[in-house]
Amino acid sequence: MEKTLALIKPRAFNENLLGSMLNDICDAGFYILSIKTLRMTKEQTGSFYSIHKGKPFYKPLVEYMSSGTVAAIVLKKNNAVEDFRKLMGSTDPYEAHKGSLRGKYGLTTRKNAVHGSDSLENANKEIAFFFAFGELFY
Ligand code: IDP
Ligand code: MG
């Protein structure tokens, strides 16, 4: 089975949506391999989103993602990366399909409730960013 990384973003975590979102994620056939809550420093969020460096939304995104608690989750499923992107829906919650995580729990493009890895290569990098080998059980 494939693995992907999900992040529940600060506003969604702060509004106590983690439980409902996990419910939807598990109902969609994903298994939770590992989960932790943390606050990321600006340096950590900057490096996590370094691919977007220079884009107009980069700075506010880095500020936002380091402004509160996030939940980092390693998910397992066949075709996990692509299937989780589908479950999340479009980046803009207003464009995301109604049953999707962003459609249900997102507020704005920045505060769109959830991050999901966009490729298998990035999933492996992002999982290693948050989790040590001994924190993942197969
Ligand atoms: P994704 O999360 O759907 O993969 P990306 O283009 O990788 O979308 O952007 C990363 C994150 O940056 C988005 O989830 C969103 O929170 C934020 N973002 C992207 N585009 C914009 C924008 O135009 N305005 C504000 N925030 C944005
Ligand atoms: Mg992305």
Q: For residue 135, how far is its CA from the centre of ligand 2 (angstroms)? A: 24
First to last CA, the chain: 10
pLDDT tens per residue across span 11-52: 999 999 999 999 999 999 999 999 999 999 999 999 999 999
The answer to whether the beta carbons of residues 84 and 4 sit under 8 Å apart is yes
pLDDT of residue 138: 67
pLDDT tens per residue across span 33-44: 999 999 999 999
pLDDT tens per residue across span 94-126: 999 999 999 999 999 999 999 999 999 999 999
Q: For residue 118, how far is its CA from the centre of ligand 2 (angstroms)? A: 6
Predicted TM-score (pTM) of this structure: 0.97
